[in-house]
Structures are given as structure tokens and as C-alpha cells.
Amino acid sequence: MRLAGKIAIITGGGSGFGEGIVRRFVEEGASVVLMDRDEAAASRVAGEAGDKVRPITGDVSTLESFVAAADLARSAFGGLDILVNNAGVAQPPLPLETMDEGLFDRIANVNMRSIYNGARAVVPHFKSIKSGAILNVASTGGVSPRPNLTWYNASKGWAIAATRAMAVELAPFGIRVNAINPVAGDTPLLSTFIGSGEENRARVVATIPIGRLSTPQDMGNAAAFLCSDEASMITGVDLNVDGGKCI
């Protein structure tokens, strides 16, 4: 029960890595506000997880969504201790000069602006209680980019840089900020990066020394640790959850 009594907002908890993080947090004793723009997905996960999870429909590219989630955390559970910025969008492989502005804006708004919005919504509260943990879900692409995913990879590199900058500013207030870098995962997002089919999948697995894709459970385990008091001396890190890919 690493997170007993803790109250968390987890964005994008309706699917994939976020769903794994929600489930793990509940197992570890946390109460969770699950914010997702997909209402049905949020309700499904919340329904399966029981009364420790409250779903809310919201878009991480807007500040209001985070404010509403923080309000729900306080009204439903009586506080807020943790923010997990997990919701993200992927891009298909593209030569970098061919990405249109619409997709670029979506990547910037969901993968980058979300971290800014989340910070604006929760940091005043975290400062008032002199504690708090923020976890940003970045990507191995942010540290070890491959060709043709440049703007996605750059957005994740920004998330890692933001994690470090936030950590150094917020440490004196008792607030920790960390990131995890998932390698390609067994989630619906994967097909955006690599298309479908067993052959594509096998090609990706072959680049991961441990010999498998990552799972939502892997991310849940790492996230629970970094957001728990066990990690009270750890801030500003980006932890590769990558089966050795970035070695």
C-alpha cells in the first residue's frame, strides 16, 4: 500500500498506459480522479475499478479541465497529492518537413501544453500543503529519437526538460517532479507509430533487448514508486521503462 490515503489526478486513464497507472494506484491504496477526453473509456475503467476512481471528461489542452479535475479531487476525496500527466498523442512516421500544422498543434497542445496547464492548476495547492508529486509520461523517443517521428520525439524531449526545470524550481516547496520514458507499448497507440501487423510488431520487439513490448502494468509499477513516499529523495529524473532500449 505505497499510496495509502493519497489522492491523484491521472490524465488519459481510459486506455493504455494510463489505465495501467490507474489500476496500480488503486491497488496501492490511492483515490483517483481519472480525466480523459473519451467519456466512455473513462467510465469503463472507473466502473471496473470501483468507488476509489471518479471519472471526469476533459481535454488536457485546456486549463479548465485540470481545474475541474482538481475541484473533483477535493470534493470527492478531500484533497490532492499527485498529478500524473499521461494523456498523449502519437504521430505516424513522416519526414519532418511534411507534418501539417494541424497535427503539429495537436502534439504541442496534448503532449506539451498539458504539462503547463496541469502545473498551473495544481502547483498553488501543492505549495499550500508543502508537498505533492507530479509525474510526466514522456517517451524513450525523447532521449533516443528515431527518424520520422521528429515532432513527437521533440515534444517528449520537451516533457523531460520541463520535468527537470520544474523539479529544481519546486523542490524547495516539498514538491517532486519526475518522468517515465516508456518504450513502445502493447497499447492502442502503437499502431499509430508502426501500423498494424505481426511483422511490424516483431521488428519493434527486436529493438528492445529484454525482448518484449512494454505493458500498462510496467508503467503502473514505475509510476506508483515515483509518486510514493519511497521516492521522497528522487526528483527531476526521467526513468527509462524500456527493457534496455536506451542503453
Grid coordinates standing for 239? 526513468
Residue 171 C-beta: closest distance to ligand ADP, Å: 28
Strand partners, 85: 136
Q: Which window, 2-10, 140-148, 156-164, 184-192, contacts ligand ADP (CB under 6 A)?
A: 184-192
Nearer to ligand ADP by Cβ, of 132 and 141: the residue is 141
The 3-class secondary structure across 86-103, one letter per residue, is: CCCCCCCCCCHHHCCHHH
Q: Which amino acid is at 70?
A: A
**What track of x and - describes contact with ligand ADP for positions 55 through 84 (by CB under 6 A)?**
----xxx-----------------------
DSSP string, 182-224: E-SBSSTTHHHHH-SSHHHHHHHHTTSTTSS-B-HHHHHHHHH
DSSP state of 234: -
Residue 116 bears catalytic tag: no
Between 136 and 175, how does the x/- string for binding to ligand ADP read (CB under 6 A)?
----------------------------------------
Catalytic one among 25, 66, 152, 225?
152
Q: Closest Cα to residue 166, out of 153, 154, 178? A: 178
Please give the size of the binding site for ligand ADP, defined by CB under 6 A. 22
Residues annotated as part of the active site: 152
Q: Which residues bind ligand ADP (CB under 6 A)?
A: 11-12, 14-18, 36-38, 41, 59-61, 87-89, 110, 185, 187-189
